[in-house]
């Protein structure tokens, strides 16, 4: 285990690269979700589609079995809510 600190450093660097990619993907998702919100007759939190969100989590769970549906549901709820908050803030700022 003499190389353990070097291995930890290497793994953390790989995590940092993934985190940067994840941040970019989350930004892209939030931008697209804001576009959708502007097109829906009822936007924001009132316009959430629980059935679509469940289907999204189910599909994602197939690609992330380590996380599973319950954990992904919590993650995606936070992603969706945060994106909606950002979209609503953008609308408020645009309105003046």
Q: Domain locations in the chain?
A: 4-95
Class of domain 4-95: mainly alpha
Say which residues have a Cβ less than 8 Å from residue 30's Cβ, sequence separation at least 6: 82, 83, 86, 87
**pTM higher than 0.75:** yes
Asked whether the predicted pLDDT for residue 1 surpasses 70, the reply is: no
**Residue 2 pLDDT grade (very low, low, confident, very high; cuts 50, 70, 90):** low
DSSP H stretches of helix in the chain: 4-39, 50-63, 68-95
Structure tokens at 35: 């576009």
Q: Looking at residue 48, what is its pLDDT?
A: 87
43 neighbors 49 (Cβ within 8 angstroms)? no
Instruction: Provide the 3-class DSSP secondary structure of residue 44.
Output: helix
| pLDDT digits 0-9 by tens, 4-63 | 999 999 999 999 999 999 999 999 999 999 998 888 887 777 778 899 999 999 999 999
């Amino acid at each position: 285990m003499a190389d353990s600190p070097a291995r930890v450093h290497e793994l953390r660097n790989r995590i940092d690269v993934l985190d940067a990619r994840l941040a970019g993907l989350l930004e892209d998702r939030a931008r697209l979700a804001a576009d959708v919100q502007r097109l829906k007759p009822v936007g924001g939190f009132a316009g959430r589609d629980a059935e679509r969100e469940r289907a999204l989590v189910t599909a994602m769970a197939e690609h992330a079995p380590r996380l599973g549906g319950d954990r992904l549901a919590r993650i995606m709820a936070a992603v969706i809510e945060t994106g909606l908050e950002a979209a609503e803030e953008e609308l408020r700022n645009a309105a003046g």
